[in-house]
Amino acid sequence: MASRSSTTDKKIEEVCSFLNERNVDGKIIQKFKDEKMDFDAIAMSSDEDLKQLGLARKGDILSLKNFCQNHMSYKKVDETKHEKKRLLQSILNFGKSSKRSKTSPESVKKAVGSSTSGKTRKVHLGWMNYSDEHNSFMQVRAKKGGGTRVVDVAVSANIDGIIRIGKEVFFPGGKSDFGNIDEFHFGLADFKCKHLLKAGSGLSDTFTLQKYVNEVKMKRVLLYITTKKNDLENDELSFDSDSDVGVTTSNDLFETNDSEVPLENPSSIIIRRELIAQQDQAYKESLEADMAKEET
């Protein structure tokens, strides 16, 4: 409070000093001081307000307002420069601390250690539901609650953990367009439409997302939640490890209803997308090179 009061008094003194330089009567200057007319107060005052304080000459009024506005503008510029300098310093300090943390013994220990519970990975998660009519798993369209969702998954997550995420995404409130969550048996398939170990078997604990990423060596992680009604389960449709999901791709299935769509080979989709991304990057680099030549 004392510091703010001191700053205000200093502003008032500068106003009074300016009025004194313009040969304004001392009694008028004292009235400005008594009314605590600093830069902000004067900037908000009308000509009539200043006349009531004793400034009768138009030149004094205009000059005083201009003096205060310029002072406030300079102050804003100084504050902006100070803020930019502060932000730049904080960024530099953050960069230094990040470099130190990367090379610190603790960070090295974490890098080679087994603890990855805090790390996550973007996963493209789809849903395939078994169709009794087509005797095949069919990819569920987005408008029926399916589609492909991008979710953050802990790299330490096992099959059961990923399926839990799939249930939350595709069965909000435990319901879907195909039925309630307790009516289905759930599984997990990889990007080749091969079932991974059966959820809840105990062996699924040996699977983690990180191990899967290391194995497939693909930038984009694609997995599918698979579902089938409990009354459809039999030996032919079991979720054994490495079993094929059995996605049908014959042309006659493209005339199905809107709830389901036959699944295109996911691996070919990913490869095509990666090729497109590489082409876009090559075009961007070529364009930047051309622009650099024009500038020179």
For the stretch 148-160, pLDDT in tens is 899 999 988 888 8
Q: Is residue 66 part of a domain?
A: yes
Domain boundary, last residue among 176, 197, 229: 229
Count of domains observed in the chain: 2
**Whether residue 285 has pLDDT greater than 50:** yes
CATH of the domain at 34: 1.10.150
Check: CB of residue 63 under 8 Å from CB of residue 21. Answer: no
Q: Are residues 140 and 47 in the same domain?
A: no
Q: Are residues 221 and 138 in the same domain?
A: yes
Which two structure tokens, joined as six digits, stand for 215? 């194995």
Higher-confidence position of 45 and 74: 45
Q: Are residues 132 and 48 in the same domain?
A: no
**Whether residue 123 has pLDDT greater than 80:** yes
* Residue 134 pLDDT class (50, 70, 90 cuts): confident
Query: Residue 258: CB partners within 8 Å, gap ≥ 6?
Result: 141, 143, 144
In this prediction, residue 183 carries a pLDDT of: 87
Positive or negative torsion for Cα 247, 249, 255, 258: positive
Higher-confidence position of 90 and 173: 173
Q: Is residue 196 part of a domain?
A: yes
| Containing structural domain, residue 129 | 120-229
* Residue 216 pLDDT class (50, 70, 90 cuts): confident
Domain boundary, last residue among 59, 78, 97: 78
* Residue 35 pLDDT class (50, 70, 90 cuts): very high
* Residue 236 pLDDT class (50, 70, 90 cuts): very low
Domain boundary, last residue among 186, 207, 229: 229
> Which DSSP state fits 253?
G
Q: Is residue 73 part of a domain?
A: yes
Which two structure tokens, joined as six digits, stand for 186? 């759930």
pTM, full prediction: 0.43
In this prediction, residue 32 carries a pLDDT of: 92
Lowest mean pLDDT among 88-97, 113-122, 221-230: 113-122
CATH of the domain at 195: 3.10.20
